[in-house]
Amino acid sequence: MSRPLRWRLAQLALTLEEDESQLPLRLAQQLGLKPEQLADWRICRRSIDARRKQRILRLYTLEFSLQAGVSLPLPAQHMAGLEPVPPPVVAPALIRTRRPRSLVVVGMGPAGLFAALELAQCGHRVRLLERGAPVEERVPAVAAFWAGGPLLPDTNVQFGEGGAGTFSDGKLTTRIRHPATAHVLQTLVDCGAPADILVQAKPHVGTDRLRRVLLHFRQRLLALGVELCYHSRLTGLQIEKGCLQGLEWRDRAGESRYSACDALVLATGHSARDTYQLLAAAGLELEAKPFAVGVRIEHPVTAINRMQYGREQHPHLPPADYALTWNDSVSGRGVYSFCMCPGGEVVQSASEPDTVVVNGMSRLRRDGPLSNSALVVTVRPEDFGGLRDPLAGIAFQRRIEQRACGGPGDYRVPAQNLLDFLGQGRGGDLHSSCRAGLRPAELRELLPDFVYTLLRQALPQFDRRMRGFVSGAAVLLAPETRTSAPVRILRGADLQATRCCGLYPAGEGAGYAGGIVSAAVDGLRVARQLAADLDAARPSG
Ligand code: FAD
């Protein structure tokens, strides 16, 4: 058997006081070698083990090779956590076409951007439609909205170049284990994301850096000849005999246009409610899916650090995060924290007039004084009539979002001190990062009863796990309704919509992803399938 050239050792620990420059020495010691017997080494995973607050460790997985003629000593060969580095996963070759087709991708979120890039690299003519503005225009429009300006229906936190994640923490963790994940992360690094995201156990890029990444991504698309159409909204589909023929769209001048196309990737995200309507009207097969509804909780960073690290700060520790879950055995529902933003801010994320929706974002440095997270309760189709009407989840979300609005044009966010919410007396001030401003409110009046009741039951459980979680320093903001898509667009094994060949639903809005990376991976999967289908359909000769 041939000797592996490279090895990987997991769980190499440094204390907070030790410097990373000590890693090669520690690696060699652990292996029973001298440092000079290592040919090279690199960090391929970095995480924090804070289970014992008295001895917080930084854990590393290192990849290394040995100098010629050096072998691993016998005890090291059987060491737990040591394994040969598997051969790299070879990315599927691009299906380069000699017969370019006219393809349309709708949506410039992660799914649409990655799909368009892949299809253009295959050599197809791609037109990419986005209802919202380019990022340079979108950022000031959203800032103006948070400062009391108008809500623009097509350019807001949900809509515009970069999609829903542009004003986010840019967390890049995902539970999917798809080989294309590495490709997505590498592409983001090539477009300017910090290289650290390739090794962090919990990578994040931050809203500030993400905006820069989008500009580089755009340059790549332009260089490949992709036609970028901003302020351009899909308004209709022309389907004949079960196959897509073309699309109607409204351009930036407000003119209605029709374009024939060979295929369309639909990556319109979970907030494109009018788009779901047009799909239903066009006869596509849709179904209601579960999602979650609740509140966002905000604590001082130092309080969360104390709970998680046993100290308020340390130069080698990032602001702490947490993940909390509790299951109600009676209803079988889960209550869980979601999309935690350490050192971030709560953002008003509405996309419809006179509604309020919250979510969270942070900068790369996560250097704000407050940490926020969603606390949400699972909602099932039977809770909102979804078994009868596939679009009922949208109406359910909208009712909550409208109840949260203080009146026409009042986009302040309803907020309540956590102790008040729990009926434990009057808590402290409403100290929040939310730039849209707060409106003191009784949150029970806007949340569905079961959501309110289960949140009140779960919070003391969370406090048992993180002592101090329930305190007068915490504020709840509501409602958090856009946790994932309320609708799924059914597609077959060939990734085409079940009732419409040539239409490829992708990403979170289609119900096949949840988060930036999984949406990007789904966009890639769909693009590769579409490219393969077009290749297979090519006439021979
Ligand atoms: P989207 O990103 O929603 O993109 C869809 C695009 O389609 C939008 O730009 C929209 O304008 C456009 N569109 C819609 N309808 C039409 C139409 N008819 N015509 C033309 N264009 C249309 N996920 C994470 O993994 N990590 C995080 O830290 C994180 N934080 C978040 C913070 C916030 C504030 C929000 C709102 C979301 C966050 N998410 C996060 C979720 C993440 O953003 C989404 O999962 C992801 O963006 C989904 O990608 P997508 O491409 O499927 O859809």
Q: Please give the pLDDT value at position 73.
A: 84
Which residues' Cβ are closer than 6 Å to ligand 1?
A: 106-112, 129-132, 157-160, 163-165, 167-171, 233-234, 267-269, 272, 275, 339, 347, 349, 359, 361, 507-509, 513-516, 519
Question: Nearest 5°: phi and psi at 49?
Answer: -110, 105
Protein residue with its CA nearest to atom 53 in ligand 1 = 269
Q: How many beta carbons lie within 10 A of that of residue 176, not counting itself?
A: 13
Q: Show Cβ contacts of residue 310 under 8 Å, excluding neighbours closer than 6 positions.
A: 53, 54, 56
Q: Show Cβ contacts of residue 63 under 8 Å, excluding neighbours closer than 6 positions.
A: 6, 7, 8, 41, 42, 44, 85
109's tokens: 């979120």
Q: Which of 113, 131, 205 to mutate to test the pocket of ligand 1 (most atoms within 8 A of CB)?
A: 131
Alpha-helical (H) ranges within 238-292 are 273-281
Write the burial class of residue 10 (CB in 10 Å: 0-12 exposed, 13-18 middle, 19+ buried): middle
Q: Please give the pLDDT value at position 90.
A: 79
Please check whether residue 270 is in contact with residue 486, taking contact to mean a CB–CB distance below 8 angstroms.
Answer: yes
Calculate the average pLDDT of the chain: 95
Query: What are the boundaries of each domain within the chain?
Result: 7-84, 102-287+489-536, 290-480
Distance 324 CA to ligand 1 centre (A): 24
Closest ligand 1 atom to Cα of 170: 28
Please check whether residue 425 is in contact with residue 419, taking contact to mean a CB–CB distance below 8 angstroms.
Answer: yes
333's tokens: 């529902």
Protein residue with its CA nearest to atom 14 in ligand 1 = 268
pTM to 2 decimal places: 0.95
Residue ranges of E strands in 241-290:
243-250, 256-260, 263-266, 286-288
Least Cα distance to 379 among 292, 485, 473 occurs for: 292
380's tokens: 């099932």
- Spatial separation of the C-alpha atoms in residues 138 and 147, rounded to whole Å: 14
% pLDDT > 90, the chain: 89
370-420 confidence digits (pLDDT tens):
999 999 999 999 999 999 999 999 999 999 999 999 999 999 999 999 999
Please check whether residue 458 is in contact with residue 378, taking contact to mean a CB–CB distance below 8 angstroms.
Answer: no
Does CATH number 3.30.70.2700 belong to domain 7-84?
yes
Q: Which residues of 417-433 are buried (b: 16+ CB within 10 A; e: fewer)?
A: bbbbbbeeeebeebbbb
Q: How confident is the model at residue 270 (pLDDT cuts 50, 70, 90)?
A: very high
Closest ligand 1 atom to Cα of 113: 51
Distance 270 CA to ligand 1 centre (A): 7
Least Cα distance to 60 among 45, 78, 70, 74 occurs for: 45
350-368 confidence digits (pLDDT tens):
999 999 999 999 999 999 9
Protein residue with its CA nearest to atom 30 in ligand 1 = 168
C-alpha torsion sign, points 206, 207, 209, 214: positive
- Spatial separation of the C-alpha atoms in residues 5 and 9, rounded to whole Å: 14
- The more confidently predicted of residues 80 and 434 is 434
Q: Which of 278, 356, 508 to mutate to test the pocket of ligand 1 (most atoms within 8 A of CB)?
A: 508
Given a cut of 50, is residue 541 above it in pLDDT? no
Amino acid identity for residue 131 in this structure: R
Least Cα distance to 494 among 540, 525, 537 occurs for: 525
- Spatial separation of the C-alpha atoms in residues 165 and 367, rounded to whole Å: 19
Protein residue with its CA nearest to atom 24 in ligand 1 = 515
C-alpha torsion sign, points 397, 398, 399, 404: positive
Closest ligand 1 atom to Cα of 107: 7
Architecture label for domain 102-287+489-536: 3-Layer(bba) Sandwich (3.50)
Residues in the chain: 541
ipTM of the complex: 0.99
Closest ligand 1 atom to Cα of 162: 9
Q: Please give the pLDDT value at position 155.
A: 98
Q: Which of 159, 166, 217, 371 to mutate to test the pocket of ligand 1 (most atoms within 8 A of CB)?
A: 159
